[in-house]
Chains A and B, each alone.
Chain A
Amino acid sequence: MTFDTLTLILLGGVVLGALYALMATGLALVWTTLGIFNFAHGTFIALGAYIAWQVASPEALGGGLLVGALVSVVGMFFIGMAVYYLLIKPFERSADIVVKSVITTLAGATILENLISIAWGPRNKQLSAVLTGDLQFFGLVMSRNEAAAVIVSLVILAALGIFLQRAPLGRAMRAVAQNREAAQLMGIDVVRLYAVAFGLSAALAAIAGVLIGSIRFMNPLMGSDPLMKALIVVIFGGIARFTGPIYAAFIVGLLEAFMTYAVGLYWSPTVLFAIMIVVLVVKPEGLFGKHRKSV
């Protein structure tokens, strides 16, 4: 392995890691706050990318990528809230909400996926890159677009972390996640908070979708593979802390980049899952988890 190959793999891994971190954090936000797993998260990624394409692409409205991304993020926030009210809220009080939400979010994912197919067609599309050209530093070469994606991801994750730590709404969100009943007795509107958490998660998915769409291609099924990776990341990192999935995302991203080089694209998911099983056996609460949280 030459130095060039190594840096290529490392940079590829970092880009993947940043994207996975964005997706996994969105997933973990819903998981920790509502205690359910949102299988529609992958479709949120696709829908976010397509909304951005519709606004941004010269073939459609031609508003430019920044406007497209903004519309997509805001739009997905409200679509996420709508999905919560339609698919999760009705079953909120039933004892088997976890199982029911698996069914309803899977149903939602399928419906949204088909709607995307009908609206935009199944063929691959691409968002035009924000920045063109390459960036050179310390003898490394990275496309400006990918560097922007990494920076955008990290900035957004930092902003979310500060929001959860400092803002009253973010603190209330953590409170509801830790003890719903005590939060209710404190006069916190749990239903609205759940809706906001779902909306935020969908907005994060939209950002991830825009970034993926501008780095790679987009099609209606573009979210299913990232969803699976995000699931690995969330289990890998544990959700006890906000930063757990983020570290894990970069580890998984780098691992995946190395695996793709070492064993090929075909076998790398297998190896990843094998590693995940080992982690689950050795440290069931996740690599960075402190205590277990069962769903």
Chain B
Amino acid sequence: MTQPLLLDVRGLDGGYEPLQIFRKIDLQLAHGGSVGLFGPNGHGKTTFLRTLSGIIDPWDGDIFFEGVQLNRPGPRGSRRWRNFNYDAVTRRRMDPKSVARAGLIHVPQGNLLFPDMTVAETLSIAPYASSGRASASETLDYVFKLFPRVQERLGSKIRFLSGGERQMVAISVGLMAAPKLLILDEPTLGLSPKLRGELAAAILTIRQSGVPLIVVDQDIAFLESLIDTLYLFDHGRISRRIEKADMPTHEEIMKLMFGEEHR
């Protein structure tokens, strides 16, 4: 019997009603593999990832994680029922809680976390999603080794942290959930080059420890060091799938995305 794919997304449509943001996304990820998403801002990468983790409902298509379907099967209700606006009638098609507990952990873009809670308190509730997959204290040691800064700031409230420190806490929270697949949405967004480097090194360590990743980033070189397959995201579709062997350089990608196709 063949082992099911870690993540299998088939023909996924979604967006914010009534606006469709992305359509017909197919994405396959084998166990132990990692993928990167690359594309211009505002083309639906984040919305796609939010759909994947169940924050917003998919419109059409299916999501399988380790062979288990995460979305409620069947077509979406009719327009009239959706407009009925009563939760008892229009059921959610996905439940972010069970997605997280299944091990698909999403570290969102610019994660603000909980401004008035301390780092220690935040980390203490982070293992909720791990459902006993890992021992919390061991993961905590691992996290402290990875981000010594997080250990130094344990007693501080999240809103007093710098952007880089907050991102470190956000990734730590993701790790505490014992991810089977970790989604990192622009983990180095808006950080100084020095912090970027530190964070990139930490993410590489996480990857080398065997955690599969879905990473969105604007830095091709950084992505290349992490992933096996690169998906180019363009106008809400996946326009190309590139294997690691023929990974293009930054210039080639720019030409690919902005030069020839959209002249």
Q: Which residues of A contact B (CB under 8 A)?
A: 89-94, 168, 171-172, 174-175, 178-179, 181-190, 240
B114 touches A179 (CB 8 A): yes
Q: Which residues of B contact A186 (CB under 8 A)?
A: 100, 125-126, 128-129, 173, 177
Kindly supply a per-residue 1/0 record for chain B positions 130-153, scoring 1 wherever the CB is within 8 Å of any chain A CB and 0 otherwise: 110000000000000000000000
Q: Which one of B96, B117, B124 contacts A185 once the chains associate, using CB atoms below 8 Å?
A: B96
A90 touches B129 (CB 8 A): no
11 sample A-B contacts, Cβ–Cβ < 8 Å, listed by A number? A91-B85, A91-B86, A168-B124, A168-B125, A184-B96, A185-B55, A186-B177, A188-B125, A188-B128, A190-B97, A240-B116
Q: Which residues of A contact B124 (CB under 8 A)?
A: 168, 171
**Does B121 make an interface contact (CB < 8 A)?**
yes
Kindly supply a per-residue 1/0 record for chain B positions 10-53, scoring 1 wherever the CB is within 8 Å of any chain A CB and 0 otherwise: 00000000000000000000000000000000000000000001
Contacts A91-B86, A185-B53: A172 and B112 contacting too (C-beta < 8 A)? no
A184 touches B87 (CB 8 A): no
A184 touches B55 (CB 8 A): yes
B125 touches A171 (CB 8 A): yes
A179 and B117 alpha carbons, distance in the complex (Å): 11
B117 touches A181 (CB 8 A): no
Contacts A171-B124, A188-B125: A182 and B111 contacting too (C-beta < 8 A)? yes
Kindly supply a per-residue 1/0 record for chain B positions 91-127, scoring 1 wherever the CB is within 8 Å of any chain A CB and 0 otherwise: 0000011001100011110011111110001101110
Smallest beta-carbon distance B54→chain A, Å: 8
Q: Which residues of B contact A93 (CB under 8 A)?
A: 87
Q: Which residues of A contact B128 (CB under 8 A)?
A: 168, 172, 186-188
Contacts A184-B100, A186-B177, A187-B97: A91 and B87 contacting too (C-beta < 8 A)? yes
Q: In the complex, which residue of chain A has the Cβ closest to the Cβ of B88? A: A90
B117 touches A174 (CB 8 A): yes
Given contacts A91-B85, A92-B87, 11 further A-B contacts (CB under 8 A): A93-B87, A168-B128, A171-B125, A174-B114, A175-B114, A178-B114, A178-B116, A182-B112, A186-B173, A187-B129, A190-B97
A75 and B113 alpha carbons, distance in the complex (Å): 35
Q: In the complex, which residue of chain A has the Cβ closest to the Cβ of B100? A: A187
A284 and B108 alpha carbons, distance in the complex (Å): 32
A185 touches B87 (CB 8 A): no
Contacts A186-B125, A186-B173: A171 and B117 contacting too (C-beta < 8 A)? yes
Q: In the complex, which residue of chain B has the Cβ closest to the Cβ of A173? A: B125
Interface centre among A174, A175, A190 (most CB of B within 10 A): A175
A187 touches B87 (CB 8 A): no
A240 and B96 alpha carbons, distance in the complex (Å): 28
Smallest beta-carbon distance A22→chain B, Å: 23
Smallest beta-carbon distance A288→chain B, Å: 14
B108 touches A185 (CB 8 A): yes
A188 and B113 alpha carbons, distance in the complex (Å): 13
